[in-house]
Amino acid sequence: METRRITVLSAGLGVPSSTRLLADQLAAAATRKLAGAGYEVVADVVELRELAVDIANNFVTGYASPRLAKVIAGVEASDGIIAVTPVFSASYSGLFKSFVDVLDPKSLDGKAALLGATGGTDRHQMVLDHAMRPLFSYLRTRTTPTAVFAGPQDWGNTDDGATPLSQRIERAAEEFSRLLEGDQPGRKAATLESLPFEQLLAGISGGR
């Protein structure tokens, strides 16, 4: 069974966070869709709030802390990205953008991406098309046609358990799953292992 690795980026600042809640629901739906298509899924959830100091220090020193470096390596090794940010001043949060800025601009090239945002009013949902899509287009990701915005009114329930938010999540997850099927152009090539000279010599001798 093939494996698909997903990195889930949540830029929420509070605990609990509606941004993290949306990220978790998108990840769960995507995992379910991919499992139905025959893939094993490894999902790594990253709370950017916990890396805020490391990200700031990276700008000042030019070096990533071991914890931040591990997260960056995870992003580079992933097949797909689920990125969710709260809306501040009609755009993505500064924390979210700062994390993107510490990445190698080429590290997301070709990766599948599913975008989400949360805000206090539906008027903020245009952030998805006017801020996040241009950013991820610049990073050359393969982004799902459907992006998901969640406002305060979206967290209510209906008698049958179906809400407009859950329907958007399912549609976006289905699109994300399809992007992750087959060969993945955004997958980072495995690093070639250097063998000891004695082992190489033994291999050459054994081939005579």
Residues in the chain: 208
| For the chain, percent of residues with pLDDT exceeding 90 | 74
Cα separation values, 144 from 6, 10, 52, 102, 159, Å: 14, 18, 28, 24, 29
Domain tally for the chain? Answer: 1
DSSP letters of 79-127?
SEEEEEEEEETTEE-HHHHHHHHHS-TTTTTT-EEEEEEE-SSGGGGGH
Nearest partner of 85 among 136, 29, 42, 156, judged by Cα: 136
Residue-number span of the structural domain to which 99 is assigned: 3-206
Q: Is the pLDDT of residue 54 over 90?
A: yes
CATH of the domain at 90: 3.40.50.360
C-alpha distance from residue 138 to each of 103, 132, 133 (Å): 13, 10, 8
pLDDT digits (tens, 9 = 90+) for 7-49: 999 999 988 899 999 999 999 999 999 999 999 999 999 999 9
Mean model confidence pLDDT for the chain: 88
> pLDDT by residue (tens digit) across 157-204?
655 557 899 999 999 999 999 999 987 675 665 444 445 555 545 555
